[in-house]
Amino acid sequence: MQADLAADELAGGDPALALGQRLETCYRHIHATAMADVPICNPALGVAATGFRTYGGRAFGIVTTPWFMNLVASDLPDGTPSAPTGTGMTVRIGLPAGEVDFIAGELDGFGRVDSCSLFSPVFEFVSMEAALETADEAVRAFFDPAALEPPPPPPAAVNRRDLLRGSFGKREEVSE
């Protein structure tokens, strides 16, 4: 309870940020205990919660550890609980950038955490700074509805024959 209050104070009262900070604390403990000296860990990385926000009544953000980078979803403490599901089951969640598959899980001392693996293991990151930049961009992309918009059509192909005859400009005028 004391850790929950401290996380809430650090988050400035934002429940999603506080939840992200609680997750960060849980994973720091896991890193220091169960994952200590495990070869899958990237020694250049630490633990961080990035971009936590409220969406659809749940908290979403990126958790980076020395062994994974996941987009996670968790119920807010005072929110409506998500539909029950078995640990290890796939849960599809609609985000602004589209449907995303998460794996339902339970974290000791925390509760339900649904995770979508982005990187595992995380050896491609040479520094925590590089990992956090990637996490920032990833969380932005998941919550950017523009990510669903189709790309603009390619420009009209230049046909050398039309260009030499002077009809390329006329064709361009007609299409406008």
Over residues 21-73, the pLDDT tens digits come to 999 999 999 999 999 999 999 999 999 999 999 999 999 999 999 999 999 99
Residue 6 lies in a domain: yes
Whether residue 76 is predicted with pLDDT greater than 60 in this model: the reply is: yes
pLDDT of 7 reads 47
Using CB atoms within 10 A of its CB, is residue 169 exposed (0-12), middle (13-18) or buried (19+)?
exposed
Is the pLDDT assigned to residue 1 strictly greater than 50? no
Rounded-to-integer distance, Cα 67 and Cα 103, Å:
17
Residue 155 lies in a domain: no
Q: What total number of domains does the chain contain?
A: 1
Q: How far is CA 119 from the centre of its chain?
A: 11
Q: Give the residue with greater pLDDT, 67 vs 152.
A: 67
Which pTM was predicted? 0.78
For the chain, what is the mean pLDDT?
87
For residue 125, the enclosing domain spans 2-148
Q: Is residue 159 part of a domain?
A: no
List, in sequence order, the alpha helices (H) in the chain.
2-10, 15-32, 128-142, 160-165, 167-175
* Single-letter code of the amino acid located at 129: E
Q: Is the pLDDT of residue 118 over 50?
A: yes
